[in-house]
Amino acid sequence: MSPKRILIDTDPGIDDALAFLLALASPEVSLEGITTVHGNVSAPQTTRNALSVLELARASQIPVYQGCDLPLVKESLLSPETHGDSGLGYANLPEPTTKAQAQHASDFLIETILSNPNEMTLLCIGPLTNVALALRKEPRIAQNVKEVFVMGGALFHPGNTTAQAEYNTYVDPHAAHIIYHSGMPITLTPLDVTYQCIFTPDDLKRLQKIDSPITKFIADSTRFYMEFHDEYQRIEGCVINDPLTLALTFMPEICDYQNLVADVDVSSGVGLGNTFADVYNYDKKTPNLRVALGVRPRQFMELFLERMESLAQKIS
């Protein structure tokens, strides 16, 4: 079976970087482009980080396109407390020797999806500003994209940014609203499943048996991320939201799903950015999201660790 052609829209971001590494270590997918967006850090910084991580993984042939540096409506909300000022925790990668492409991320998404009808899988692991802008500029991408996987939301799980809202959705709830109501075939990976997938200090010790720039990067970046999770949420380890979302593009059996009528709150109250579902479908609407609500954490973690080990053995 030929590999899935994927595009990643992203705000690297420690767990975003781990998702890149998992994609590069997985023959089931072919990463054809990265579009960067504001989020964990600014768009110029997420762009630098994407270029640096690709260079670390000897994958600089993959083009990077910079996108929006502000949400559609709200003020910018970065998360240095979670990912560090650089966005990659304590990792200190050299300045990238490559540059981003000149084309805007939203235009690259439009051009690539329209010129490859029903071929491209879009993985969205940051605030959805670029994808919403692309949809508004060219609504036909909704009918031409093969499938969309979104890391976002917290349906029956507490938020990680407000009591109810998950970060990607809270940062740009208006963009999320556009995506959720676009008619695109979307699979949502919310905190309900990602918070069961914790990368632990023991998992890191296993990877550190291999001496490689890859394992050094994972150690340096996740050490900061683990400190955040310990301090803010008393979690021993760190939640690797984005790699789980990537894994579902080629191993959907890791999770169990429900087709739901779902929405995101864009009102200005305490619920802003909250993703919720009409579970009993009182309004008899057609479900608009396939939501991952069950997960087999060890199956995912084993996949992630095995793939990181094989990538680390290739890159010394």
Q: Which of 168, 212, 215, 222 binds ligand RIB (CB under 6 A)?
A: 168
| Residue 42 interacts with which of Ca ion, ligand RIB, none, CB < 5 to 8 Å by class | none
Q: Which residues 52-81 are close enough to bind ligand RIB by CB under 6 A?
A: none
Q: Which residues 224-253 are close enough to bind ligand RIB by CB under 6 A?
A: 241-242
Contact 76, 129 (CB under 8 A): no
Q: Which of 33, 39, 173, 190 binds ligand RIB (CB under 6 A)?
A: 39
Task: Output the CA–CA distances (angstroms, integers) from residue 304 to 16, 170, 185, 194, in the order listed.
Answer: 13, 27, 25, 13
What gap in Å lies between CA 188 and CA 183, rounded to an integer? 14
Task: Output the CA–CA distances (angstroms, integers) from residue 43 to 35, 158, 230, in the order listed.
Answer: 10, 27, 27
Q: Which residues pair with 33 in a beta bridge?
A: 7
Question: Is position 167 an interface residue for ligand RIB (rule: CB under 6 A)?
Answer: yes
Q: Which of 18, 131, 151, 289 binds ligand RIB (CB under 6 A)?
A: 151
Q: Could you list the beta-strand ranges (E) of the chain.
A: 4-10, 29-36, 64-66, 120-124, 147-151, 186-189, 198-199, 238-239, 255-260, 262-264, 275-277, 289-295
Q: Which is nearer to ligand RIB, 125 or 175 (CB)?
A: 125
Per residue in 112-150, is it b (16+ CB within 10 Å) or e — as a string?
bbeeeeeebbbbbbbbbbbbbbbbeebeebbebbbbbbb
Question: Is position 303 an interface residue for ligand RIB (rule: CB under 6 A)?
Answer: no
* Residue window 89-128: x/- pattern of binding to ligand RIB, with contact defined by CB under 6 A: ------------------------------------xx--
As measured in angstroms, the least distance from the Cβ of 258 to ligand RIB is 20
Contact residues: Ca ion, CB under 5 A: 11, 13, 16, 125-126, 242
Q: Which is nearer to ligand RIB, 170 or 212 (CB)?
A: 170
As measured in angstroms, the least distance from the Cβ of 82 to ligand RIB is 7
| Residue 226 interacts with which of Ca ion, ligand RIB, none, CB < 5 to 8 Å by class | none
Per residue in 257-283, is it b (16+ CB within 10 Å) or e — as a string?
beebbbbbbbeeeebbbbbbbeeeeee
As measured in angstroms, the least distance from the Cβ of 167 to ligand RIB is 4
Q: Which residues pair with 238 in a beta bridge?
A: 199
CA nearest 47: which of 5, 108, 138, 6? 108
Question: Is position 9 an interface residue for ligand RIB (rule: CB under 6 A)?
Answer: no
Q: Which of 32, 166, 263, 265 binds ligand RIB (CB under 6 A)?
A: 166
Contact 102, 127 (CB under 8 A): no
Q: Which is nearer to ligand RIB, 116 or 161 (CB)?
A: 161
What gap in Å lies between CA 240 and CA 211, rounded to an integer? 22
- Position with the least CB separation from ligand RIB: 167
Q: Which is nearer to ligand RIB, 149 or 167 (CB)?
A: 167
| Residue 144 interacts with which of ligand RIB, Ca ion, none, CB < 5 to 8 Å by class | none
Contact 160, 191 (CB under 8 A): yes
Q: Which residues 12-31 are close enough to bind ligand RIB by CB under 6 A?
A: 13, 15-16
Binding site for ligand RIB (CB under 6 A): 11, 13, 15-16, 39-40, 125-126, 151, 160, 166-168, 241-242
